[in-house]
Amino acid sequence: MLLSVFERFKIKDRLLLPIVQGGMGVGVSAHRLAGAVARLGAMGTIASVDLRRHHADLMAATGRSRDRALIEAVNLTALEREIVQAKALAGGHGMIAVNVMRAVSQYPDLVRKSCEAGADALVVGAGLPLDLPELTAEHPHVALIPVLSDARGIALLLKKWMRRQRLPDAIVIENPRYAAGHLGAPDSATLNDPRYAFPRVLEETLALLRELGIERERLPLIVAGGLHQHAQVRDLIGQGASAVQLGTPFAVSTEGDADAGFKRVLLDAGPDDTVTFMSAAGLPARAVRTPWLMNYLDKEAKLQGKAKAKDCTVGFDCLQQCGWRDGLAKAGQFCIDTQLAFALKGDTKRGLFFRGSEALPFGRAMRPVRELVDYMLNGVVPAPASAAA
Ligand SMILES: Cc1cc2nc3c(=O)[nH]c(=O)nc-3n(C[C@H](O)[C@H](O)[C@H](O)COP(=O)(O)O)c2cc1C
Ligand code: SF4
């Protein structure tokens, strides 16, 4: 457990450090990272998509298979194992959340399995999770946390959920201007829209909560995207945020579940080394300008020009709508599961490396999560002697 100069915040009667580790797929945040963060008294998040890639026996059973039912079944087994291991590492501290993207085909099964396997919270983004209260009705102790980007989206979701007598247990507000991975804006042209700026979203959302008669403590607001300095945490908590969520800085921590080569690509990328593009899921995304991505972007217009429906590359149809499989010309024309799996293993030539746009708290150094959390919450700069890698 760690102390914080800021007050803890409450989710479902549990007091947590005001820092959250965001879910990162494929396999970038699994049990090791989520468990280490929770052990400190914070919320750690397992990304649920294609977790079999961390389990040699499950990959041996499905690596070459195109049997969708089999791949989906082993991915549920992998998710259960990861939740159990993360909870054991956490030792009863903090919270273990599971991130499920609304856009993935297995969304309802991943939600159900997470609840059954003992997840403390579900964090759902990449689409509006209007049906989450119904899907989890038998598990009222599991906290529900949607990821949204502006006050308009928050108002829409709150009003729909309130008609079913349910409130979220927290909301993640992710700014697409800085965040990594899939972004909550309709396209790349609108990423810098002022409606996503934290001061504006916080102010408008706090006004909305007052209008709807929801107490501020009942619905903690967690801001995410580009946060890398202690002073930013102080400012945002001063503006009404209950906690901050970080992705990229946790991905490159010692306990991050991806290969060391993955972390090196993110650590070495400077401010001009990220790019936004359309993902196969039909959402804008941000990643490092690696050789594979730049090569793909050179050919994107041509590929989009001849887009047509085809079989899923991997055979498990991970996405409900896939630009590549379904021949949707406006979306990305590649198999995102394959490219993210290359990145997880540190394959710098073929991988797709999601990364936020901003600098990292410790520059190019890889450090343990304890030092990251202590720096972000308390401003404690670790001694150079403990610098790793
Ligand atoms: C490698 C990587 C993978 C990510 N994958 C997911 C994901 O599967 N689902 C999700 O909701 N967010 C995902 N994110 C976003 C993070 O959870 C987090 O909200 C975001 O990275 C915050 O911005 P930051 O990276 O600037 O801290 C990912 C981020 C990274 C760096
Ligand atoms: S082709 Fe599309 S649906 Fe199939 S695994 Fe790849 S990204 Fe998923």
pLDDT in tens, 298-349: 999 999 999 999 999 999 999 999 999 999 999 999 999 999 999 999 999 9
177-195 mean pLDDT = 93
CA distance 339 to 25: 11
- Do 281 and 241 share a structural domain? no
319 CA to centre of ligand 2 in angstroms = 6
Indicate whether 350 belongs to any domain.
no
Could you tell me the pLDDT band of residue 126, with boundaries at 50, 70 and 90?
confident
Could you tell me the pLDDT band of residue 385, with boundaries at 50, 70 and 90?
low
- Do 168 and 138 share a structural domain? yes
The two structure tokens encoding residue 331: 């979306």
pLDDT, residue 387, reads 47
Q: In the chain, how many domains are there?
A: 2
- Do 250 and 114 share a structural domain? yes
- Do 327 and 210 share a structural domain? no
For 351-367, how does the pLDDT look when each residue is reduced to its tens digit (9 = 90+)?
A: 999 999 999 999 999 99
Residue 154 belongs to domain spanning: 9-259+363-379
37-59 mean pLDDT = 98
pLDDT, residue 271, reads 82
**Residue located nearest, by CA, to atom 3 of ligand 2:** 317
Q: Is 27 left (phi over 0), alpha (psi -120 to 50) or beta?
A: left
- Do 289 and 234 share a structural domain? no
Mutational pocket test of ligand 2: of 335, 338, 342, the residue with most ligand atoms within 8 Å of the beta carbon? 335
Q: Is the distance from the beta carbon of residue 179 to the nearest atom of ligand 1 less than 6 Å?
A: yes
161-185 mean pLDDT = 96
pLDDT, residue 110, reads 98
172-179 mean pLDDT = 98
Angstrom distances, CA of residue 315 to CA of 76, 115, 301, 327, 337: 16, 27, 25, 16, 11
**Residue located nearest, by CA, to atom 7 of ligand 2:** 335
- Do 232 and 285 share a structural domain? no
38 CA to centre of ligand 2 in angstroms = 32
pLDDT, residue 134, reads 95
**Residue located nearest, by CA, to atom 28 of ligand 1:** 24
Please, what's the b/e burial string for 323-357 (b: 16 or more CB within 10 A of its CB; e: otherwise)?
A: bbbbebeebbbbbbbbbbbbbbebbbeebbbbbbb
Indicate whether 246 belongs to any domain.
yes
pLDDT of 87 over the 60 cut = yes
- Name the percent of the chain lying above pLDDT 70: 99
Q: What is the CATH number of the domain that holds 368?
A: 3.20.20.70
- Do 275 and 243 share a structural domain? no
Structure pTM?
A: 0.97
CB-defined site of ligand 2, < 6 Å? 280, 312-314, 316-319, 322, 324-325, 335-337
First-to-final CA distance of the chain: 25
Angstrom distances, CA of residue 234 to CA of 25, 150, 300, 378, 380: 29, 21, 42, 10, 14
**Residue located nearest, by CA, to atom 6 of ligand 2:** 335
Mutational pocket test of ligand 2: of 52, 68, 314, the residue with most ligand atoms within 8 Å of the beta carbon? 314
For 198-241, how does the pLDDT look when each residue is reduced to its tens digit (9 = 90+)?
A: 999 999 999 999 999 999 999 999 999 999 999 999 999 999 99
pLDDT of 389 over the 50 cut = no
Atom of ligand 1 nearest to the CA of 357: 26
pLDDT, residue 25, reads 96
pLDDT of 386 over the 60 cut = no
- Do 330 and 288 share a structural domain? yes
- Do 204 and 107 share a structural domain? yes
63-81 mean pLDDT = 95
pLDDT of 14 over the 70 cut = yes
pLDDT, residue 331, reads 96
- Do 215 and 340 share a structural domain? no
For 238-274, how does the pLDDT look when each residue is reduced to its tens digit (9 = 90+)?
A: 999 999 999 999 999 999 999 999 999 999 998 899 9
| Ligand having the closest approach to the CA of 282 | 2
